[in-house]
Each structure stands twice: as structure tokens, then as C-alpha cells.
Amino acid sequence: MKRVLVIHYSQTGQLTEVLRSLCAPLTEAGITVDHMVIEPSQPFAFPWSRMRFFGAFPEAVNGDPVELKPFGTPSTNYDLVILGYTIWFLNPSIPVNSFLKHPAAAAILKDKPVLTVIGARNMWVHAQQKVRGLVAGLGGRVVGNILAEDRSPNMVSLVTIIRWMFYGRKDPFLVFPAAGIRAEDIAGMSRFGPVIAEHLAHGNIAQVNAALLARGSSRIKPSLLVLEKRALVLFVKYRNYILAKVARDPASRERRVSVFSVVLPIGAFILSPITALATVLLSLVKGKELAREIEELQRY
């Protein structure tokens, strides 16, 4: 009998729904599916307060771990580990990053094929590269990736996600759709379950990504990849700005987080349309190079 371990952290519960949909066909196929939920010792409350949300920015960008509640060491006799995570400021969420840097993580992931499942608003490529490196450092190997994302346009999802994160409201309002991943897309995650089950049964789970991609497991959008690259450069500068005077003036962090909480949303609204135009121009000049990069990134 094949065994799968699902590891994840979900602040809102949405990623839990995604993984439940994905794994239902595995259970139906007779595969044992165990779950390990990551829990920070100090929970990240939801909805967020504005200062708490933007205050997590430096640690999310820098990959600083937090203390986790004991999760024990499950059996190492698994044929596949499914690692589910969400994106915080273009990086894997702090709790999942903390797990991947936890001393006990190597015992769980060493010599294991790992399938990542991402719940994202839209931009996720950098985070996936980071997770791949951390998993490899623990002796595991990412063999595929499945993306569940908000399908609304970038500017629309920016409005709806802010309302959801700060006020706990994800319902449609005015001309805006519901926030987050659509219910039909969550239900649609089940289409990948039989693919995973088949590869487990035939002992070739290391080759699962091509079959998943053929069913639409993930797609990198050129405009968002360009935007993400530019945002990553700015994020390092923002982080340095927030922490610049902390050593001699600890209170400066809160003041600068307050400024940042205004600057970032305004910057996002300004930068996104400019980047969309820049991407069109870039595609004309470096279309083949950009296509090759996307093909390489999308392999896993």
C-alpha cells in the first residue's frame, strides 16, 4: 500500500480545502494519506491588523524562522510528501519556511520525492525556487508543482485580497468578485489526484510533473514574472529601510512599517500597469529568451 504525507500551513483555511480536494482521489484509490499541520507557537491571527500584516514583511522577505509547536517525527516510510504552502510577500509563508529550517525537517524529507502545492494570489515563482532549494538542502527532491491561484486580474485581486486580509470579507462586492481561489478551481484540484495515484502505483512519481503540466497544473504569466522580478529588488530595499535604525532606535521599526503600509499598496497600483506595458515591449525584444526562461522555471 502506498503512503503519502501531506504537510501544510493554512491561515485562512483555503489551502486546506485545496489539499482536501487534491487528496480525495488518492484516498479513493486506496492510498494512505496522513496529514501534518504546521502550527506556529505564536499564531498569526486572521484577519490581520494592518500593522501586524506589514510588520511581518521583513521576516518573510529575509526567511527568518519562528518557533513552531512540536509536530513530532512521523513515519519516514512515505512514498511521497505533498508540501502545501501559501505566498507571503513573494516568499513562502513564515510558518512553512520555519518548518523547512527546523532541525526535524530533514528526517521527514530526506530521500523523499516532494510535490509542492501552492495557494497564491498570482506571483509565486521566486517562492517556489526558494522552496526547491530548501527541500534539496534537506535531502529531498521536488518532483512537481501544482498551483491554485486567484484568477482575477492583478489589480482586481489586489483590492479583494486587501479586503479579505484586513476585514475577513471575501464575498463579492460592488463590481468585484469574491476574493481568493474560486470554488470551482478548488474542486478542480481533484483532477490531479488520479495522475498522482497512477504514478505512485507504477513507481515513477519522479516523472509526474510532465503529466501534471499537461492537465494545467501551473502556468507562468510573462507579465507577472517581470513584475515579480522588479518587486523582489524593491522588497530588499524596503526591508532594509524598515530595519535600518532598529539597533539604535527600536521604535523606528513601527514608524517605518506604518509608512511602508501606505507606500506598498500605492506602489503596486502604480507599478502594475507600467510593468504590463514594459512586458509587451520586452516580449518583442526578448520574446524567445523569456519563453525559454519560463519553460525552464515551469519544469518543477
In this predicted structure, the answer to whether residue 291 has a pLDDT above a threshold of 80 is no
Note the pTM of the prediction, 2 decimals: 0.93
The pLDDT of residue 221: 84
Comparing 120 with 223, the larger pLDDT belongs to 120
Across the range 192-214, mean pLDDT stands at 95
Q: Can you give the pLDDT at residue 41?
A: 96
**Band of pLDDT at residue 228, cut at 50, 70 and 90:** confident
Find the mean pLDDT for residues 71-98: 91
pLDDT (average), residues 167-171:
94
Q: Which of 114-118, 140-144, 149-153, 280-284 has the lowest mean pLDDT?
A: 280-284
**Mean pLDDT calculated for residue range 155-180:** 93
Question: Which residues of the chain form CATH 3.40.50.360?
Answer: 3-214
pLDDT at 5: 96
Compute the average pLDDT of residues 27-36: 95
- What confidence category does residue 278 fall into, taking pLDDT thresholds of 50, 70 and 90? confident
The CATH T-level fold of domain 3-214 is Rossmann fold (3.40.50)
Q: Residue 286 pLDDT more than 80?
A: no
The whole-chain average pLDDT of the chain stands at 92
Q: How many residues appear in the chain?
A: 300
Region 48-75: mean pLDDT is 91
Least confident of 36-50, 105-119, 120-134, 256-270: 256-270
Is the pLDDT score of 73 beyond 70?
no
Local confidence band at 283 (pLDDT 50, 70, 90 cut-offs): low
